[in-house]
Structure 1
């Protein structure tokens, strides 16, 4: 059913006849009369009793009036909601990432975005590594992925954000006599608590993991930090995370440095206003600290 027919019907009801309704709608009286007949034909019912020039609602017409007013009200609410979304007064942006980036840069990016757009909700889902991010994007579960750009992202748009220096965060009793920076080959002699499920860790720092030095394979960053604090072993994390989240750990650089390129990944199709705004905020500055 065409919405304009519903609006024309209500105009006739509200103005008490076709003549006044046509004048208010800025259309001709014959055109409005034809529209009402078209509506009745589509509904297979008579909406008005016609006595001379007077129109009165039939019982079916009165019932339809209630439905028509609900339809128009629902459409108006939908228009207002869409306008609010376009104007970034409401809406949601869905982001997919995984444990390696759950703190940095995700937290700072979301903080900046919320500062600029406090009416937008950010929904973050966890995946298993870069392949999980891509799957979430392809399935439409997220519009933006935060991931390691060293991995392959076919048919996607990639937006570089920053580079993370990965460092060794280690309990003090395991750091005795270790140089800073520490040769990578020596990291293989240190017990580590890391997330091996994330392929990003293997792509960038695989030569740090020996046959036996990974003593705990853990996908939860906060648990990893607690293992380090309690002396179970060291871990490999971005320098910023080590310095901000692990104050009791000794932070040691590696030689040669381990650097991870981080960015956003999106599908090539058009983004929602909220997602486009998130990318705009994220790319305003390359310093995501």
Structure 2
């Protein structure tokens, strides 16, 4: 049964007459009658009793009519959702962003979104830790959250954006005697630069500098004041001339957008839809509860 069959079946059931249903559907009566006959033949049951003066729906017809109404309702909801996204011309999208993701991938994602929806204002709220992103989304303060996906049950849905390799960025002078990749245990012997308020992914025991500003922290690394842990893309593009070393074991984090399980506001739905063109095949198309063993916030 396709959408057209569903529309025909429901119309005839509601009007109790092929003639009246055909008039309501703006089609010829013989065409509608033939369509119903074909549907009955395909299903192998009679949907209407034609023995009396008035067309009566059979129990099988009632069952199929109920299913047809559900199909039409689902189609209408899908059309409305698509139209909501297509109609995003203004408004505000609020997003909680993990601080360490502000340099990447936030600019790439926002750039694509604003090329598609230039009149939507994006308002971001920063968070030092993933839990802060989750709280902002669950409370309704933000529509979406860009964060590292962690294991745990927080009652949020998510959409995977991609993965980031965490690397060690440091001046060449500090890297002379270090192996490549650098064993995590050796981090205890390396002077480190950390951002105030952040929670390092790996234990950092030898803190040389605490810095409140990310750009200043990166410049300190360039000047040889210490090393820091960064996503590879950020280290290679934002810190010119530094040495970038992988870690052993390799350190990778999964990045995603989290949202409440309620229907998304149009701007939030449009932002997630825009991910397809930013990430291509690497974007996960399956939304799961945040309690899934692979992700949560």
TM range (shorter): 0.5 to 0.7
RMSD: 2.2
Whole-angstrom CA distance in 2 between matches of 1:193 and 1:283: 36
The equivalences for 1:9-158 within 5 A come to 87-150=87-150, 152=152, 154-158=154-158
Report deviation, 1:85.
Answer: 8.6
Note the residue ranges of structure 1 that are not aligned, 5 or more in a row: 1-82
Match of 1:69 in 2: none
TM-score (normalizing by structure 1): 0.64
The equivalences for 1:232-271 within 5 A come to 232-271=225-264
Match of 2:267 in 1: 274
Whole-angstrom CA distance in 2 between matches of 1:268 and 1:198: 28
Q: Identify if the C-alpha distance between structure 1 residues 96 and 222 changes in structure 2 by more than 3 Å, giving closer, same or farther.
A: same
Report deviation, 1:260.
Answer: 0.8
1:214 aligns with 2:207: yes
Report deviation, 1:246.
Answer: 0.4
Q: Identify if the C-alpha distance between structure 1 residues 162 and 86 changes in structure 2 by more than 3 Å, giving closer, same or farther.
A: closer
Whole-angstrom CA distance in 1 between matches of 2:245 and 2:265: 42
Check conservation: 2:184, 2:248, Cα contact below 8 A.
yes
Q: Identify if the C-alpha distance between structure 1 residues 85 and 148 changes in structure 2 by more than 3 Å, giving closer, same or farther.
A: closer
Match of 1:191 in 2: 191
Q: Identify if the C-alpha distance between structure 1 residues 164 and 275 changes in structure 2 by more than 3 Å, giving closer, same or farther.
A: same
Whole-angstrom CA distance in 1 between matches of 2:95 and 2:267: 11
What's the CA shift string for 1:68-120, capped at 9, x where partnerless?
xxxxxxxxxxxxxxx99971111111110121111111111111111222221
Match of 2:221 in 1: 228
Check conservation: 2:85, 2:270, Cα contact below 8 A.
no
Please state whether the residue corresponding to 1:280 is helix, strand or coil: helix
What's the CA shift string for 1:137-158, capped at 9, x where partnerless?
1232211001111253511112
Report deviation, 1:196.
Answer: 6.5
- The runs of 4+ residues in structure 1 deviating greater than 4 Å are 83-86
Note the residue ranges of structure 2 that are not aligned, 5 or more in a row: 1-82, 284-297
Give the number of equivalent residue pairs: 199
Report deviation, 1:220.
Answer: 3.1
Check conservation: 1:166, 1:237, Cα contact below 8 A.
yes
Whole-angstrom CA distance in 2 between matches of 1:84 and 1:146: 22
Check conservation: 2:170, 2:243, Cα contact below 8 A.
yes
Check conservation: 1:97, 1:147, Cα contact below 8 A.
yes
Whole-angstrom CA distance in 2 between matches of 1:139 and 1:159: 19
Report deviation, 1:197.
Answer: 3.2
